[in-house]
A and B are shown apart, each in its own frame.
Chain A
Amino acid sequence: MATLIQQVINGLSLGSVYALIAVGYSLVYSILLFSNFAHGGFLVIGGYICYGTLRTFGTGIWMSGALALAGAGLAAVLTERLAYRPIRERTNVTLYLLIASMGMSIVIENIFVIVAGGRFRALPPVIPTAPVNLMGLATTSAFDLLSLVSAVVFLGALQLFLSKTRWGLAIRAAAYDLRTAGLMGVNVNLLISIVFFVAGALAAVGGIFLSVRYTLYPQLGAITIKAFVAAVIGGLGSLPGAVVGSLILGLAEMLTAGFISSQMRDLVVFSMLVITLLVKPTGLFGKSVSEKV
């Protein structure tokens, strides 16, 4: 029983980190209807900015974190301006955007390989990681609780932004129908930039947490494939779906590894992806896309 509780807590804390990344994916997908594979790159950018400012300027975690969020957000906007907008304006085939995003993820990864080196780096211990005992039932680290809390805070803030502000309204309108939103007088380009900024900043939060818990290295972005799977299970384009999908995935990973076979862990992840797609392609919360005739 204690083991089960332990694994559930492990799963939830892993899922919360996935959620931060998956939400960004889903946000971009909901507007532009393409899977942004460069999303992992934003995460890496956020991690390195945080690392760099902490190490060189000795700024506190709040300052460094804010800089990382802003930096990754700007990088995301820049990526969109340079690589995606020209394609978007010329064609509506999302495939080209997909390939461009793959190219961007290779570019970002290798910029860091060259500039920062491939070495694994660890952020200074700015976030406490001491073990915490939960009512004698399970042990977890303070960091896990913190990451769970931050995920809730950031996702809550995002929800507020989307539901209470004018731009949030515009984003929701655009997610419903980008063209019509444009016709209704929404500045589509600005809106897309905002969406990318938000997605990049969320990725940076995930990046900071990942690099504190694990390490920071140029290929860290590869982990986003799991978040991507989570986003699909929850339903691409749906934010609550991304969160729920992430938690489900985190739990599934931990429970499989704990009770069935750790070797089978990833096999379960990818089987879940395929089964979800077969049974309900739109995922748990996805909006149904009807083929336009």
Chain B
Amino acid sequence: MSGYTEGILILLCINAIAAMGVSLLTGFTGIFSLGHAAYMALGAYTTAILTVQHGVHWLPAILLGGVVAVAVAYFIGVPTLKLMGDYYAIASIGLGEAIRLILENWQSVTRGARGYPGIDPYTTLPVALAFFVVLAVFMFNIINSRFGRACKACRDDYIASSLLGFHTARIRVLSLMISAFYCGVSGALLGGFLSFIQPVMFDMLKSTELTAVVVFGGLGSMSGSLLGTAVITLVTELFRPISQYRMLIYGAVLVVIMVLRPEGIMGNREFVSWVKAPFRRRA
């Protein structure tokens, strides 16, 4: 396999991990976030500082990166997740930008906008793939678990599900924490892939890209999110030779999909059920 394909695959794994996290939050719990790149940044910076300055091995460092993202998500989530619908989305823009601004200004630790160099290139294809597979298996188990169904209940009818005895507030915070973990790990892997991180890599554009991919793939479909990631990544690579028009096409694809098929590529169904569908007997 050429390094080019390898590079794309690694990036695909990294993006897919983040997309899975956002998918759980947006697609399954119905919380719309526009600031998840900040959790990637937290993961990336934690891992970078741990490995470079403290000589920690990259594997625990990556996991710790995820944990830091989870911790921050908890402290942010408890007060802000009271907000419903668009209001949380707006708050998340503010939170995401605020975290990035802190990274830019806290120069003694993060080295500011000039970026953090010299990260070990620990993200090889096997590593990225292993993280992806483990996290994907874990995620598919989550969404089919009791917790996953509780998330969907919260999404479909917040009030009814709380009346049914679900601890809705806790479910929402937990969902945010899991998604923050996925994004943190994804960011940590990105840092290892580029061996250099800058706060500007985790700006609002990145956040919206994450959410766009999830909506694009289909809200409430984990395999849809993965498919969405693949399609968007491939579209940007495929159109690379026509450099200038690439972003135009990217934007147009988003609009066209929303117009023609607002429920996304997969709707709210998983790939398995989609394959099985033709064989099912119609009532």
Contact = CB atoms under 8 A, between A and B. Distances in A.
- Find out whether A and B make contact in their complex, taking CB atoms under 8 A apart as touching: yes
A160 interface: no
B53 interface: no
Contact of B105 (A99, A114, A225, A263): A263
A103 B90 contact: no
Nearest to A85: B259
A225 B101 contact: no
Nearest to B212: A99
A87 to B, nearest CB: 5
B244 A35 contact: no
Interface stretch (B56-64, B120-128, B132-140, B248-256): B248-256
Nearest to B99: A270
Nearest to A86: B259
Given A95-B215, A113-B244, A114-B244, A105 B251 contact: yes
Contacts of B255: 83, 100, 103-104, 107
Interface stretch (A59-67, A123-131, A250-258, A271-279): A271-279
Contacts of B98: 267, 270-271, 274
Interface of B: 32, 79-80, 82-87, 89-91, 93-95, 97-98, 101-102, 105, 158-159, 204, 208, 211-212, 215-216, 219, 244-245, 247-248, 250-255, 258-260, 262-263
Contact of B248 (A35, A107, A236, A270): A107
* A interface residue count range (under 10 / 10 to 19 / 20 to 34 / 35 or more): 35 or more
A281 interface: yes
Determine the main DSSP class of A at the interface with B: helix
Contacts of B87: 277, 281
A31 interface: no
Contacts of A110: 244-245, 247-248, 251
A271 B94 contact: yes
17 contacts: A82-B259, A83-B255, A86-B260, A91-B262, A95-B215, A98-B89, A99-B215, A102-B208, A103-B252, A103-B258, A106-B247, A266-B97, A267-B105, A277-B91, A278-B80, A278-B91, A291-B158
B211 A99 contact: yes
B204 A96 contact: no
B94 A291 contact: no
Interface in A78-101: 82-83, 86-87, 90-91, 93-100
Chain B interface mostly: helix
Contact of A273 (B90, B252, B258): B90
Contacts of A277: 80, 83, 87, 90-91, 94
A242 to B, nearest CB: 14
A6 to B, nearest CB: 25
A5 interface: no
Nearest to B255: A103
A266 B101 contact: yes
A153 interface: no
B26 to A, nearest CB: 8
A103 B248 contact: no
Contacts of B93: 225, 270, 273
Contact of B94 (A34, A90, A94, A270): A270
A162 to B, nearest CB: 23
Nearest to B90: A232
B94 A96 contact: no
A264 interface: yes
Given A35-B90, A103-B253, A266-B97, 15 more contacts: A83-B259, A87-B262, A99-B254, A100-B255, A102-B254, A106-B254, A109-B247, A110-B247, A225-B93, A264-B105, A270-B97, A273-B93, A274-B80, A291-B84, A291-B159
A35 B80 contact: no
A220 interface: no
A278 B91 CA distance: 9
B251 to A, nearest CB: 3
Nearest to A229: B94
A35 B280 CA distance: 41
